[in-house]
Amino acid sequence: MKSVDYIIVGQGLAGTLLAHDLIEKKQSVLIIDKPHAAMASKVAAGLFNPVGVKRCIRSWMADDFLPVAIERYKFLEKKLGSTFFNINPIFRLFPNEANRKQWQGKCSNERMNDFISDFEPPNSYSFLKDEFGGASIYPAGNLEVVKFLDASRLFFKSENCLIEDKFNFKLLEADVGVYKGIQAKKIIFCEGFRAIYNPHFKYLPFSPTKGEILTIRIPKLEKFEKIVSKGVYILPLGDHLYRVGATFNHLERDELVTTEGIAYLHDKIKQILEEEYDVVSEKAGVRPTTRDRKPFLGEHPKHKKLAIFNGLGTRGVIQGPYLSAHFTTFLTTSEKLLKGADIQRYKGLF
């Protein structure tokens, strides 16, 4: 019987990061992936931001996640001979005077000033509605997720470790870790929100969130160096193009844009931009978000040959590299998983 150390199901952001880590630890890997409509990684703007902007607080484990993410994506750019990682400030526009004061207070009292700087006075930019000014979050930026996944896919194909196929649960022998006659030490599911259809892991409390985005063209603004954030983000792509997103919809799980979602984005853009713009494209995808907003990592409670690496939610780019390295250590040594990420916390639901 053919054998492999790990079968990974799904080559979105989660499966890609994990496959790179395992291969670098000299493990043999077979990725089975069939791109589906609505996959999150193909739509994401890929922003990473260590600050929760609404309350001006450090996001969960930001001090651990951020340095690992920066080092990892820079390393992967070199490994794959491509560029897809950009470090740029996020310019938070204050919606009102109270918010401006809150941010100033947090910076002087709560050690937030290692991420926040450059408070700018009102009306500094003619093309922005910045009547309450803003401040910059740094380090921050974005991963060009599609470019990273495409470069990785070429790499995995050149290593003969990727099969383009839909994983068929009828052909899985869950108790012994055999799929289509291939024996694996573990079969790791990285299916994004489609984990809700996985017969072995659908007991986990996923809470998928559809998001819609726009690509717009601003004729009078070739490129603003910062990413602007106020309700939505506006990410400069170059050559007058900008990505705008995103909406949050807990009811739908498809790749179709909606009249309400697009109207919401236009409304937010009008609260930010003074300039005219045209719409270039509209897209939607579904985030693998979870009920407690924490990732889902770990072994199946009954079938020890099955595991999951999922639940990257709205923050896959910043938390993915740390969690992937952590999960790889868990798989290849006996180190325990982070309690907040380990699916053991839901064993009562199984």
Ligand X SMILES: Cc1cc2nc3c(=O)[nH]c(=O)nc-3n(C[C@H](O)[C@H](O)[C@H](O)COP(=O)(O)OP(=O)(O)OC[C@H]3O[C@@H](n4cnc5c(N)ncnc54)[C@H](O)[C@@H]3O)c2cc1C
Residue whose beta carbon is closest to ligand X: 12
Please state the φ and ψ torsions of residue 245, each to the nearest 5 degrees.
Answer: -170, 175
Q: Which CB sits closer to ligand X, 65 or 277?
A: 65
Instruction: Write down the least CB distance from residue 108 to ligand X, Å.
Output: 29
Binding-site ranges for ligand X (CB under 6 A): 9-15, 32-36, 39-41, 43-48, 166-167, 190-192, 194, 211, 213, 245-246, 285-288, 310, 312-318
Q: Which two tokens stand for residue 326?
A: 């952590």
Instruction: Give CA separation, 212 vs 140, 233, 246, 247, 283, in Å.
Output: 22, 12, 5, 5, 6
Nearest-angstrom CA–CA distance, 50 and 333: 29
Q: Which CB sits closer to ligand X, 133 or 245?
A: 245
Instruction: Write down the least CB distance from residue 55 to ligand X, Å.
Output: 18
19 three-class SS: helix
Instruction: Write down the least CB distance from residue 48 to ligand X, Å.
Output: 6
* Other residues' Cβ atoms within 10 Å of the Cβ of residue 229: 21
Q: Which CB sits closer to ligand X, 11 or 136?
A: 11
Instruction: Write down the least CB distance from residue 131 to ligand X, Å.
Output: 26
Q: Which CB sits closer to ligand X, 133 or 288?
A: 288
Strand runs (DSSP E) across 80-208, as ranges? 85-87, 90-93, 116-120, 134-137, 141-143, 162-164, 172-173, 178-179, 182-189
Q: Which CB sits closer to ligand X, 11 or 215?
A: 11
Instruction: Write down the least CB distance from residue 105 to ligand X, Å.
Output: 27
* Other residues' Cβ atoms within 10 Å of the Cβ of residue 302: 10
Q: What angle do CA 231, 218, 275 make, to 5 degrees?
A: 70
Q: Which CB sits closer to ligand X, 134 or 316?
A: 316
Element spanning 57, H or E: strand 57-58
Nearest-angstrom CA–CA distance, 317 and 73: 9
Peptide bond into 246 cis (omega under 30): yes
Element spanning 155, H or E: helix 145-158
Q: Which CB sits closer to ligand X, 107 or 143?
A: 143
Q: Which CB sits closer to ligand X, 29 or 213?
A: 213
Q: What are the residues whose beta carbons fall under 8 Å from the beta carbon of 69, sequence distance 6 or more?
A: 48, 317, 318, 319, 320, 321, 322
Instruction: Write down the least CB distance from residue 16 to ligand X, Å.
Output: 7
Instruction: Write down the least CB distance from residue 195 to ligand X, Å.
Output: 8
Instruction: Write down the least CB distance from residue 331 to ligand X, Å.
Output: 17
